[in-house]
């Protein structure tokens, strides 16, 4: 069995890391590079930089952060936020990132997934999906624009289409769970993992170390992403991996 990945996520606004609840109430929690370097020291498997208010005007900020991150980190770096074109993929990858996460633009233009995977390889293309349960509990709808707009797309149909177009991974965020710290959305994760044959990263709702172990025990997701747990010093990546290993969940262990 492949080792499960632990991935700290850094939501970035105007060059600083922020964190909120249900996509609102953002608080400044530090410098992206310094936080990422600390997670690298803690044996994180990779790190995500998510530019949550990306515009063309602040592209220079995120480009600088990617270049600094690529120079100072030994772990893979995934970057998302405001990706609209193959040129955006090229800029981010040429700046030193290993993967690019695309969300809203892929919904608007699904061909972008295929074009990017054809040019850069499926390993570089991460389809990020923000989803929320329907009121009647009949399934989940896909949201875009930072969780502000319901597209009406069915989650399961969308992830299957994304895989067919060439996405190499699904980064799945439950909007119902995001920031609540009540645990991952197991029901949603199970449904998506069963629907696709590519890796699925669990995101949204992690409140403690046990939540990460439990998501691996209860679903076949390949990775777990967390923010608050790590940003506020409540747990280290090493501590999470210790718990996973004790529960016979395969993880990459501490650097020697």
The partner residues of 17 in beta bridges, in order of sequence, read 12, 30
The partner residues of 125 in beta bridges, in order of sequence, read 100
Q: Which of 11, 178, 211, 222 is catalytic?
A: 11
**58-66: long-range contacts, CB 8 A cutoff, minimum separation 24:** 58/14, 58/15, 59/91, 61/14, 61/15, 62/12, 62/92, 63/91, 63/92, 63/95, 65/12, 65/15, 65/32, 65/33, 66/92, 66/95, 66/96, 66/97
Q: Which of 40, 130, 141, 211 is catalytic?
A: 130
227 neighbors 8 (Cβ within 8 angstroms):
yes
Whether residue 88 lies in the annotated active site = no
β-strand pairing of 99-102 with 77-80: parallel
Q: Which residues are catalytic?
A: 11, 130
């Amino acid at each position: 069995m492949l080792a499960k990945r632990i991935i700290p996520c850094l939501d970035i606004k105007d060059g600083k890391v922020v964190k909120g609840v249900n996509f609102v109430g953002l608080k400044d929690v530090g410098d992206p590079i310094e936080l990422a370097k600390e997670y690298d020291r803690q044996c994180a498997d990779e790190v995500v930089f998510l530019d949550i208010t990306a515009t063309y005007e602040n592209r220079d900020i995120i480009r600088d952060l990617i270049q600094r991150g690529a120079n100072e980190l030994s772990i893979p770096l995934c970057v998302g936020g405001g990706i609209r074109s193959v040129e955006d993929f090229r800029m981010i990858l040429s700046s030193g990132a290993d993967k690019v996460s695309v969300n809203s633009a892929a919904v608007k233009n699904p061909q972008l997934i295929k074009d990017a995977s054809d040019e850069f390889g499926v390993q570089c293309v991460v389809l990020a999906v923000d989803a929320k349960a329907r009121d009647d509990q009949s399934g989940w709808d896909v949201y875009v624009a930072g969780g502000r707009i319901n597209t009406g797309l069915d989650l399961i149909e969308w992830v299957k289409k994304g895989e067919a177009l060439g996405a190499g991974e699904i980064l799945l965020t439950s909007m119902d769970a995001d920031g609540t710290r009540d645990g991952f959305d197991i029901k949603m994760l199970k449904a998506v993992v069963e629907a696709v044959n590519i890796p699925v990263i669990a995101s949204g709702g992690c409140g403690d170390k046990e939540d990460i172990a439990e998501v691996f025990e209860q679903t076949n997701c390949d990775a777990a992403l967390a923010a608050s747990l790590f940003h506020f010093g409540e747990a280290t990546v090493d501590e999470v991996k210790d718990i996973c290993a004790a529960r016979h969940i395969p993880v990459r262990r501490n650097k020697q």
